[in-house]
Every structure is written in structure tokens, then in C-alpha cells.
Chain A
Amino acid sequence: GQNIDQPTEMTATEGAIVQINCTYQTSGFNGLFWYQQHAGEAPTFLSYNVLDGLEEKGRFSSFLSRSKGYSYLLLKELQMKDSASYLCAVRDNQSYQKVTFGIGTKLQVIP
């Protein structure tokens, strides 16, 4: 099975940089996703890492270390609209369709 840990809440200031960490223990690993979920809305895809290293996409970057079972999502130049929950999710290598989600980190961006 999969066990995913991430902080439940974080607060950061508009314009700043914030790093949201995710650690996982897994019986089989085939990639890690980050999703964003605004309150009352559906999760939307942000990033995917399957190899070690950093993937950059505009203001958002995601990092993966498979040997450490660790990932982080980095958000730069924070905007008020970035206030949302950020879900770390791990894909199983036994069942490609099975993705296990963490509890999510609720990020509040303050002025």
C-alpha cells in the first residue's frame, strides 16, 4: 500500500516563495503528482515527476527524490489566488490506474 504525509496547513505571504513537502512510503512507485484544489472545486493537475530532479512550470516547480521517498512543490511569487489545498498523490506500479492521494496541504496566502 501507500502512505503519504504532508503538512495539513501552511500560511505564506503574497509575493513570497513557499515549499510544500510530501513524503511517501510505498510498496510500488510509478510517479508522483501534485494537484491543486480550491475550496468547493475539483482537483486540477499541476505537475508530475517520475524521475529524480526538478520539473519547472512557470511559477510552480516540483522536485522528486525516489531514494528518499520525498517530493516538494515550490510556488514562487505567491498570489492570493494560490490559496488552495495542494494534494500530493502517488501512482502504483502494480496498477497504473491506481493513484493514492495524501490528505492535502491547505495553503493560505495573506497580504
Chain B
Amino acid sequence: DTAVSQTPKYLVTQMGNDKSIKCEQNLGHDTMYWYKQDSKKFLKIMFSYNNKELIINETVPNRFSPKSPDKAHLNLHINSLELGDSAVYFCASSQTSGGTYNEQFFGPGTRLTVL
């Protein structure tokens, strides 16, 4: 199926650990994103990559480091996890040019719980 996929779907870990979330899209899009949705359901952009280049880097602690090995993949590594990092992390992709709406397609989300 053509889609945006993320792994893992659930992640439960202890404070202070380091963890990674992986994202892949097979829609042929040139732009990928990471969003954080907190307990109040507010969806906030963290990072965006266009053709492997970082173009959006919101005010995010530098414990969060995105990596885009190619256009179809965007991973998120989080160091020294804190309780406040508990949230659902969504990956998304879009096509910047040539489309009708250039809307974003979201992955299923990764629910991160830090204990």
C-alpha cells in the first residue's frame, strides 16, 4: 500500500534513555515532517526536510535530532528522554510542487510514554 509508515507504534521507556523512531513514505513526496501531539491534542511541528535538507527547525530541545538518509526516510532520535517527552509523534509527507493542494499525509503515529 502507498502510505507513510512509522515504527514503532508504541514505545515505553525509562527517563534518561535514548530512543529512535523511524518513518518511511512511498508516495514519492519531496518533503517530510515530524510533529508532536501532546496530551491536549495540540499538533505542533518540530522539523521538516525537503529533499534531505533541513528546512524547518522549530524551538525543540537539542536532545531531538532528526536524520534524513534519503527523500523517503526521516528518522527521529531522542536523547536523555524526559517525562515531558511523552506524546504521540506523527511523521508526515507532502509534495511541495506540482500537486493540487500539496496536503500532508500522516503516518499512524508513535505513542511514546516515558516513565
Binding site for B on A (CB under 8 A): 31, 33, 37, 41-45, 48, 85, 87, 95-101, 103-104, 106
Contacts and interface: CB of A to CB of B under 8 A. Distances in A.
21 contacts: A33-B103, A37-B41, A41-B109, A42-B108, A42-B109, A43-B43, A43-B90, A43-B104, A43-B106, A45-B103, A48-B101, A96-B102, A97-B33, A97-B94, A97-B96, A98-B45, A98-B48, A101-B44, A103-B40, A103-B41, A106-B41
Given A41-B108, A42-B106, A48-B103, 6 more contacts: A31-B101, A43-B90, A43-B106, A96-B102, A104-B41, A104-B43
A25 B56 CA distance: 21
Residue from the set A31, A42, A44 with the largest chain B CB neighbour count within 10 Å: A42
Interface of B: 31, 33, 40-45, 48, 50, 55-56, 90, 94, 96, 101-109
Nearest to A33: B103
Contacts of B50: 97
Nearest to B91: A42
